[in-house]
Structure formats: C-alpha cells, structure tokens
Structure 1
Amino acid sequence: MHRRSLLHAAPAALLLLPGLAAGAPRRTASPAPRRIALHHAATGARFAGSWHDGRSPDPGAMAELSDVLADTRSGEVMPFDPLAIEVLWEVARRSGLGGELAILSGYRTPQTNRLVHGAGDSQHLRAGALDVLLPAERLAGFGEQALKLGRGGVGIYGRRNFVHLDSGPVRAWGDLPEGVAVAAARPAPADPLARMAEAWAQTRSR
C-alpha cells in the first residue's frame, strides 16, 4: 500500500478504536457497595455485610436485616423499609461512627408498641424506624448529623443515650442541640425502588 493510502486509512481506523472516536462515552466507575454492621441489643441478633450494591438494596440482605430487627417480644418479622436503613447508614457514615451499631428497637407489633408507650402512629409499626443506642460522647454528634441530613424523623433522647431515626416525614423532637436546625427535606432518591419505598412511607404518619 502506498504512503498516501496509509494516511487516508489511518483516520478511519482510529474511529474503530473504542474511546478514541470523538464523543465516545467514557466508562464510569461502578458505585461502591454499602456495608453496615448492627446488632439488636434486646435479642443479640446480628447483621454484618453489604446491604446495598450502590444502585439498589439487596433483597437477601434486607430479608436478613428484617429478621434481626424483628419485634423483640413476639419475634414477628415485617419487611424493613430500606429507606430507614439508608438513613441509618448515611448518618453513621457522616458522623464517623464505625463498627457495630446497637439497635434498641426496630419493628414493633401494635401490642409491643402499646407496652412501651409508643406513639399510636409510630413509624416502628411499619418497620420504618430504628432506635440507636450510642455512647454518651457520640450522641450529640450523631444527632446533629441526623438533623443536618434532612431525611425522616429524628428524636434525640439524651438521658437514655439513644437517637430515633425513621423514614417518615421530616421532623424532630427531644433533646435537640442548640443552633442546629432540621435540614429541609431532600429530593427523593433517583433509584426507582427507593422512590417507590419513599412514596409508600409518606402515606404513613409518624
């Protein structure tokens, strides 16, 4: 082949090479899996591992988490709201709280809810709330990050060393730190499953 023919062939050949053609899409890194470790303080049940692949919750992991967060008195299990786990994971990440999280209460049956004097419309009744037991020195920072996140309900119980998190409407109560306001509600997540779960959560009251 003559030199002139080679020069004409080169641009066409370059177009066939991935990533060299103008406007060729760039590969993006896969989202990192989300991991969490927690145990139920009342039953000792534990979960540790990936619960979300970075795009959507893992159904098998959510089933395990639902078992761990079952009603403490009856053992009854209800599928846990992945948005509540997402709130817990994000607040723990933002507050730098590594290791295993201690959960005082997850799902509650109506009978258990009455026995512990829970609100009649508690998010615990729909498996959408978690009470997180914290060391006294970590309580304020955890609660502050939960308020700043602007997702769901946040109840801070300083005397009992726990913070309530849920995936219901944005609101706050309890021993709120001075100078920290509740963040405005964030837009619904882009993930379709998360959007459906959040829409479902909004139909329930606290």
Structure 2
Amino acid sequence: MRRRIFFLATAAAGMLAAPGAVHAATRRRFPELSAARRLQLRHAASGAKFSGIYRTGQSVDPGAMAELSEVLADTRTGAVRPFDPEVIDILWELGQQQKFTEFAILSGYRTPATNRAVHGAGDSQHLRAAALDVEMPAAKFDAFGEAALRLARGGVGLYPQHGFIHVDSGPVRRWGGGGPAGTMAVRAPKLSPAEERLNRLAEAWAAARR
C-alpha cells in the first residue's frame, strides 16, 4: 500500500514538473486533438466572412460547414447548398503551403441561373458547391497556381488576366494560364475521343457520388 502511494505521488510530481511531456504524450495518443484545421475567408461580392476551425482530425464540424456554406452561397439569389468539405480541405492545404492568412473568394456555389449568367460550364463544379474561385494577387499567382497543380486533387483553372484561380474537388484536370498577371502558361492538352469519353464518365460519377 505504501509503495502504491509513493508511486502515485511520484507520478503526480513528475506530471507537475514536466507538463510539456504530458501534453506531448496526449498528442501522441490522440493525434486528432492537435490536427485542428482553421480557415479564414471572405466572399468578395457579399462581404460575408468565416473565421474558425472547420475540421478536427477526421471529423468535420457540421456547424462550421453550415456557416461556410452560407458565406459561400449564391450571391445573386442567396441560395445555400451544403459545401463539399473536400474542396475546403484543398483550399486549407494550399493556404498552409503558400502562407495565406485569409482568402478572398469571388465565387462559391452557383445556382443554374447564376451559372448561365456568368457563362459557366454546363457541368461546372460550382453547381455542386464543390468549387471556389480564389482572388489572387499577381505577385502570388504563379506560385499558388503551381502548388494547386502539384497537389492534383481536382480541377485547377488559371485566370491571370482576371486575377483569380479556380479550384474544385472534381476530376483532376487543368486549363487556362498565361497573360500579363502570370507567366505560367498551362493549357488543357488536346484529348483523344476516348479520353473525352472517360472525362465525361468521370464527371457523371462525381455528380452521382454527390
């Protein structure tokens, strides 16, 4: 009994003497506690903002995602659609790589009417709340675009003349580039008929999955 009391007292003293070691052990046992993903963004058109943690480890915060979905709503109608966490993860990862503290979003979710009004593609990932048009300063355009292409997690569209980069969580593809705001000239390669059919199948699969 005395040995047990002595052991507990010694352990408690060690914990008080080395709190950092205790915290490190806790992080090793529960890695999700130290894997919180924080994001700060604003919608350039509406002025709506989000700042906070949207994911901890493998778990997405439903409340934070609901708030993000409202911030990224269709700006013409105010319509809200639950945003795809995967494209939010893409944005977060690029922000970590490129040291962005805040993102300005030009376009998030679009209704079909809004998509037609801005001459968006008929199968745009914006229609599925799975795409973001990110305003990009000219000085950071090339580095961010190259990072997005290297990530290979979805679609990347480069619009240097308009000052934004499109990212989405659909099939991996790329288009755009060049122009005065960026030196990178990345264009979608010409596809064979078989490759075009595969792309259409991939888009159909992505739509069905959502």
Kept in 2, the 8 Å contact 1:128–1:166? The answer is yes
Rounded to whole Å, the distance in 2 between the matches of 1:134 and 1:121 is 24
Within a 5 Å distance, the mapping from 1:85-104 to structure 2 comes to 85-97=88-100, 99-104=101-106
Q: Which amino acid in 1 is paired with 2:111?
A: T
* Shift, 1:203, TM fit: 2.3
Give the aligned partner of residue 68 of structure 1. 71
Cα distance change on mapping 1:111 and 1:54 into 2, 3 Å: same
TM-score, length of structure 2 as denominator length: 0.72
Q: Deviations over 1:49-70 (max 9, x none)?
A: 0000122211110000000000
**Is 1:38 aligned with 2:41?**
yes
Runs of 4 or more off by more than 4 Å in structure 1?
Answer: 199-202
- Structure 1 unaligned regions, length at least 5: 1-25, 182-198
Cα distance change on mapping 1:119 and 1:178 into 2, 3 Å: closer
Rounded to whole Å, the distance in 1 between the matches of 2:146 and 2:203 is 26
* Shift, 1:94, TM fit: 1.2
Cα distance change on mapping 1:131 and 1:92 into 2, 3 Å: same
Cα distance change on mapping 1:104 and 1:201 into 2, 3 Å: farther
TM-score, length of structure 1 as denominator length: 0.73
Rounded to whole Å, the distance in 2 between the matches of 1:85 and 1:57 is 11
**Is 1:49 aligned with 2:52?**
yes
Rounded to whole Å, the distance in 2 between the matches of 1:65 and 1:45 is 10
Larger Rg: 1
Kept in 2, the 8 Å contact 1:168–1:202? The answer is no
* Aligned residue pair count: 163
Give the aligned partner of residue 126 of structure 2. 124
Q: CA RMSD in A?
A: 2.6
The 3-state SS of whatever aligns with 2:161 is helix
The 3-state SS of whatever aligns with 1:71 is coil
Percent sequence identity over aligned pairs = 60
